[in-house]
Amino acid sequence: MAAAPRDITIVGGGIIGCCTAYYLTRHPSYSPDLHRITLLEASSSSAGGRTADSIQDPATLADPATAPKRNPAHEGIAGGASGKAAGLLALWAFPRNIVPLSFHLHDELAREYGGDKRWGYRRCYASQIDCRPRLPSGAADAGGPTDAESVGGAAEPASRGLHKDHKKDRSALRKLGVPADLDWVDSEALAAYEGMGTPDNTAQVHPELFTRSMAQLAEEKGVAIVTGAKVTAINKTAGGDAVSSVTYTRDGKEETVAATDCIVAAGPWTRTLLPEIPVTAARVHSVVIKTPKPFSPYALFTSIRLPPGFPAPTPANIPGAARAAPPPLRGERIVEPEIYPRPDGTAYACGPPDAVAELPPMSTGVAVDVARCDDILRQVRGISGELGPAGEGEGGRQGAAVLARQACYLPQGGPWIGKAGPTRGLVVAAGHTCWGIQNAPATGKLVSEIIFDGETRSARLGGCDPALVL
C-alpha cells in the first residue's frame, strides 16, 4: 500500500524544532517528493535578548572553514534559549529514559558532520567547586551579622544555580584532588572540589551553531524554513478530530498552510497555542567572555561564598535598574554561577533564574537586565583572574573581553514529547528545562517516529508523555 502524502508543520525554530525537522528528513519513510515539511519561526531576528554591543554571530569565533555561515533567510533561528544556553551534554542528565539516546545521537552527529569544528562539540569534565572570592577592586570590607540592610529587608537565601539538583551539599565536597590542568581558577579561592563528570559521560556544544546547523541540514533535505511567521491558530477538520491547517501572520499578512500534522516546539511560548500543556518560563542571564588563552575543558558548577563588602547580587524579585549601584554586603551570601569554557577560546557563565519580567510575545522582545550580567561578571572574576579585565590577577594582565551580555527564557515543566490529546496529527515537544540542548536530538528522533510510525521506537516516553497531564 502506497504511503499517504503528509503536510507536516513545525512551530518553533529553536533547537527542538530544528532537530525535529532534521530527523523527520532522515526517517526511512520520508520522501521529499511525497511529504512537505514547513518550519515556522515567529521571530525574524536572532538578536533579541542581547545588548546592542554584544557579538551577534558566534561563527566568527569558530573554525572559519567549517562553521555554519549565518543565512539571512534563517534570521530568527535559535533566537531564544537555543542560542544563549550553555550547551552542556551529559549521560547523568534528566530524564533518564531519553538521555542515553540523545547523548549517543550528539556524538553520532558530531562524527558525521565534523561537529568539533562546525559547532564546538567536544568531550569535557564537569565539576563542583566551593570558593571564596577576593573583593573586587575598590570594594570596602563591611562587617555585620547579616546582609539584610544591603537589600532593604530580610536577608535573601542562597542564589541557586540551574543544575542545583545535581550538586552535593557543601559538607560533602572533597577538599583535595583538584586536577592540575584546572589552572584558570585562582588556587587561593578554592575551598573544595568534587568531580561530577568525565569525558566518558560529559560533552558540550555551542548551542546556536548546533541549532543553525540542524536547520541548514534539514533544509538541504527539503524542509521549508519560514521566519517572521507567528502562528496564531492550529485549525482542525470539520469534525474537530484532526489537524487540517496552520494559520500564521507574516509581514502584516495572514497566511494559512495545509497540515496533516502540526508539531508545537515553541519552548516557553508553547502555552499560547496549547494552554493545556504545563510549560512555564524562567528568565536566565549569561555572559560570554573572550579569555586570554583557551581554558581546559572543565564545566564548573560553583558555590561561591561572597564575603562582607562584596557588591550585593541583584535580588531575584526586583529589576537591577532599580538600584543606582550594588550596595556592599554586610554579611556573607552564597551564589552559584556556572562557568563553561568553550573550544573557541571563550567562557560562558550564567546566573540564577529571576522572576522580574514576564515572558514577551516572542524572543525578539527579551529584555536584558545588565545589572544581573554584571553580577555574574563580578562573581566569576572574583575566583578567576583569567576572567578579569587587563591588569587584574595573574594571567589577567592581557585582559578578558566581555563579548556578550544576554538573557533568555528557559522552558520549564517537562519535557513533554508526544501526542497532544485526541486530535489526530497534533504533537507537542516542549518544556525541556536546562537540559534542552542535551535532549534535543532524541526528541527530534522520537517525534519523527511518532509522525511516521505512530509510536516511539528508539526510547520509551515514560514521564515525558503528555497523556500524563491531558
Last residue of a domain, one of 411, 436, 458: 411
Residue 158's CB is within 10 A of a number of other CB atoms, namely 16
The reply to whether 21 and 112 lie within a common domain is yes
Dihedral pair phi/psi, residue 30, rounded to 5°: -75, 135
The reply to whether 402 and 420 lie within a common domain is no
The reply to whether 316 and 198 lie within a common domain is yes
The reply to whether 114 and 144 lie within a common domain is no
The reply to whether 197 and 212 lie within a common domain is no
Q: Is residue 395 part of a domain?
A: yes
Return d(Cα 295, Cα 165) in angstroms, integer. 26
* Mean pLDDT within 231-251: 96
In terms of pLDDT, which residue wins out, 391 or 440?
A: 440
Could you tell me if 288 and 346 are in contact, meaning their C-beta atoms sit under 8 angstroms apart?
Answer: yes
Q: Is residue 136 part of a domain?
A: yes
- Kindly state the percentage of the chain with pLDDT values over 70: 89
The reply to whether 252 and 393 lie within a common domain is no
Q: Is residue 2 part of a domain?
A: no
The reply to whether 261 and 289 lie within a common domain is no
* Mean pLDDT within 163-170: 50
Last residue of a domain, one of 411, 428, 451: 411
Assess whether pLDDT exceeds 80 at residue 323: no
Assess whether pLDDT exceeds 60 at residue 194: yes
Cell of 340: 563553561
Q: Is residue 80 part of a domain?
A: yes
The reply to whether 388 and 422 lie within a common domain is no
DSSP H helices, 335-435, are 370-381
Q: Is residue 1 part of a domain?
A: no
Q: Domains in the chain: how many in total? A: 2
* Reported pTM: 0.92
Which amino acid, 86? A
Q: Residue 34 is part of a domain; what is its CATH number? A: 3.50.50.60
Q: Is residue 94 part of a domain?
A: yes
Range of the domain at 145: 122-203+281-411
Secondary element (H or E) of residue 20? helix 15-26
List the Cα angle 224/30/218 in 5-degree steps.
35
For residues 69-86, one letter each, b for 16 or more C-beta atoms within 10 angstroms of the residue's C-beta and e for the rest, the string is ebeeebbbbbbbbbbbbb
Assess whether pLDDT exceeds 70 at residue 148: no
Specify the long-range contacts of residues 315-319, CB closer than 8 Å, at least 24 apart.
315/151, 315/156, 316/156, 316/159, 316/352, 316/353, 316/354, 316/355, 316/356, 317/354, 317/355, 317/356, 318/356, 319/356, 319/357, 319/369, 319/371
In terms of pLDDT, which residue wins out, 306 or 324?
A: 306
The reply to whether 314 and 386 lie within a common domain is yes
The reply to whether 83 and 141 lie within a common domain is no
Q: What pLDDT does residue 389 have? A: 83
Assess whether pLDDT exceeds 80 at residue 65: no
Could you tell me if 349 and 380 are in contact, meaning their C-beta atoms sit under 8 angstroms apart?
Answer: yes
Contacts with 160 (C-beta within 8 Å, 6 or more apart), sequence order: 336, 352
The reply to whether 400 and 366 lie within a common domain is yes
Cell of 95: 530524564
The reply to whether 306 and 388 lie within a common domain is yes
Return d(Cα 221, Cα 25) in angstroms, integer. 6
24-46 residue pLDDT tens: 999 999 999 999 999 999 999 99
Q: What pLDDT does residue 320 have? A: 78
The whole-chain average pLDDT of the chain stands at 90
**Nearest residue to 283 via CA among 219, 365, 359, 214:** 359
What does 28-82 look like in DSSP terms, one character per residue?
Answer: TT--TTT-EEEEEES-S-S-TTB-TTS-S-GGGTS-TTTSPPPPGGGTTTT-SHH
CA R_g for the chain: 23
Last residue of a domain, one of 364, 394, 411: 411
Could you tell me if 405 and 54 are in contact, meaning their C-beta atoms sit under 8 angstroms apart?
Answer: yes
